[in-house]
Structure 1
Amino acid sequence: MAELIRNLPQTAEQEKVAGPWKEAWRSFRKSKSAVAGAGIVIFFILVAIIGPMLAPQGINEQNLAIRLLPPSSEYWFGTDDLGRDVLSRILHGARLSLTVGISAVILSAFFGSLLGIIAGYYGRWIDTIISRVFDIMLAFPSILLAIAVVSILGPSLRNALIAIAIINIPNFGRLIRSRVLAIKEEEYIHAAKAIGMKNSRILWRHILPNSMTPIIVQGTLAIATAIIEAAALGFLGLGAEAPQPEWGKMLADARMFLLNAPWAMIFPGVAIMLTVIGFNLMGDGLRDALDPKMKN
């Protein structure tokens, strides 16, 4: 009995040291699909960072004498209709596609979370106005709203990034608003108000830290969606412009040669597919690890 009692404080201390983040990491590592997704994401991030330095050819080096060559030992992914190396363009395109996807999600997460926190915490007419704006934006299909925004701003990769950021703001806003509505009714929030803590301090010290979990999960999943949307805008000619090697633009340029040179479309399409799958698998793993409701 004495030995059992002596072991109790040590066990409690070990659990305290572990903490929720370490516990979430342990749960994340147990999911094979989540680890596989994280591996895919890390691989493409490394490709985006060092890929252009490893590219065998320049992205705009044209040689019409070798146009539409199939994959070979010299050109692993073949060449396109202008004689450019498809592998080199995909390596360079990884940086563009990931930059657009991650940057757009960071912008939408910042502004969406800010509006969601304000709407959920202050309520009343502020909540009504912000919520109705979110409802109006969500009433339109996201890709159509993105097309409308790019049509107003003009076709370019930067404007495509802005459009993707705008259409994803309501997703973050509504998610954080619902979280804030639950948190602000907690006893420690009422206690903070009772001792005279300012609203700005409450939002910064209590509301925001306790809302980070859904932001992280939604952000990871939103990157996958943003990459698809950027590729869709590029395919429609509303995103990256020639000769930028963005994956969606590469698909659009190669669609006329699908029967004669399918590799020019297959490899950029596979790159998009693998990247999206990686972020989705990792996002699902983070959701299962960070959401207490998903744990047994």
Structure 2
Amino acid sequence: MTQASLDTGSGTQLKEIKSGPWRDGIRLFMRNKTAVVGLVIVLFFVLLALLAPLITPYDYTAQVLSERLQSPSAEHWFGTDDLGRDIFTRTIYGARISLWVGLLSVVGSIIIGTLLGLLAGFYGKWVDMIISRFFDILLAFPGILLAIAIVAILGPSLQNALYAIAIVNIPTYGRLVRARVLSLRQEEFITAARAIGVRDSRILLRHILPNSLTPIIVQGTLGVATAIIEAAGLGFLGLGAQPPDPEWGKMLSDSRQFIQTAPWTVIFPGLCILLTSLGFNLMGDGLRDTFDPKLKNR
């Protein structure tokens, strides 16, 4: 074998090592400027939430009535609310609540929706009929109205708002997984696995589920933005976080009467909701473009 062929062979091996589905996906994602912007926005708010105690010297529950409704200044960057609380501090701590509710509610929806979607798509017949009708019932109601009804039954609280948002979004992931399973169960590798006696649970967990993760990840990223907005909506109606928790929607609700006299009390929480949702949407669109083979060559 000549030296040239050895060099060519080694170069091919190095290229194979450096390439791979995850490496290629990360490379494509980083080339998408809007997706990178979304990632930067999300990471920025995550860092704010994690470093909240180190960024501001104030307590988000501390009330100084003599300093109520002060405009933004060097001492209070975002001003103060009607109780003299520092809005910058409450906004940063609010990121913890909104991200926590958004992420956990989406994780809950994904777990339950994926499980139901796997069962419905794989077994079909009466199992599919019962689960699909359950999805149809949940989808028959507007999401926010169903969430309001659930929280009204369970009682106003941040935890119950999280449960309500998770329940409302179960059909989104369930139907997505069901459609994916219906296409995968006809593939030859699934038929071969059944032919050699592989158990259904192993087929679902080792073969079908891993091949269904891509759309779940994409939809989950987009779903966090929706969950944050829904949590803010419930908080605005007084059905989410309760005082003195600094939830963005609740902050908007408490300050709406000062929108003309002290607009900074609503501007900054509103901007945080907007930017956080925008960041997750941009990142989700970037992930969709990265994982969808039909969009890679555009």
| Percentage of pairs with the same residue | 60
CA–CA distance in structure 2, aligned partners of residues 86 and 235 of structure 1: 17
Determine the structure 2 residue equivalent to 1:229.
Answer: 230
Are the equivalent residues in 2 in contact too, given 1:57–1:88 (CA < 8 A)?
Answer: yes
What displacement does 1:233 show?
0.1
Would the alpha carbon gap of residues 12 and 177 (structure 1) be closer, same or farther in structure 2, given more than 3 Å must change?
A: farther
Write out per-residue CA displacement over residues 37-58 of structure 1, whole angstroms, 9 at most, x where no aligned residue.
Answer: 0011011111111113322311
Say yes or no: does 1:59 pair with 2:70.
no
Are the equivalent residues in 2 in contact too, given 1:52–1:91 (CA < 8 A)?
Answer: no
CA–CA distance in structure 2, aligned partners of residues 13 and 77 of structure 1: 53
Which residue identity does 1:276 align to in structure 2?
S
Instruction: Specify every segment of 5 or more residues in structure 1 that has no aligned partner in the other structure, as ranges.
Output: none
What displacement does 1:4 show?
7.3
Say yes or no: does 1:153 pair with 2:190.
no
SS at match of 1:294: coil
Would the alpha carbon gap of residues 11 and 176 (structure 1) be closer, same or farther in structure 2, given more than 3 Å must change?
A: same
Write out per-residue CA displacement over residues 189-242 of structure 1, whole angstroms, 9 at most, x where no aligned residue.
Answer: 100000000000111110111111111101100000000000000000110111
CA–CA distance in structure 2, aligned partners of residues 130 and 288 of structure 1: 30
Instruction: Specify every segment of 5 or more residues in structure 2 that has no aligned partner in the other structure, as ranges.
Output: none
In the alignment of these two chains, the number of paired residues is 296
CA–CA distance in structure 2, aligned partners of residues 64 and 258 of structure 1: 19
Determine the structure 2 residue equivalent to 1:162.
Answer: 163
Question: What TM-score, normalized to structure 2?
Answer: 0.96
Determine the structure 2 residue equivalent to 1:273.
Answer: 274
CA–CA distance in structure 2, aligned partners of residues 112 and 9 of structure 1: 46
CA–CA distance in structure 1, aligned partners of residues 14 and 184 of structure 2: 27
Say yes or no: does 1:7 pair with 2:5.
no
CA–CA distance in structure 1, aligned partners of residues 15 and 274 of structure 2: 42
What displacement does 1:23 show?
0.7
Determine the structure 2 residue equivalent to 1:207.
Answer: 208
Determine the structure 2 residue equivalent to 1:76.
Answer: 77
Which residue identity does 2:26 align to in structure 1?
W
- Structure 1 vs Structure 2 CA RMSD: 1.6
Which residue identity does 2:184 align to in structure 1?
I
Which shows bigger deviation, 228-237 or 6-15? 6-15
Matches within 5 A, 1:134-153: 134-153=135-154
CA–CA distance in structure 1, aligned partners of residues 191 and 5 of structure 2: 39
Matches within 5 A, 1:164-183: 164-183=165-184
What displacement does 1:13 show?
6.2
Say yes or no: does 1:288 pair with 2:250.
no
Moved >6 Å (runs of 4+): none
Which shows bigger deviation, 27-36 or 132-141? 132-141
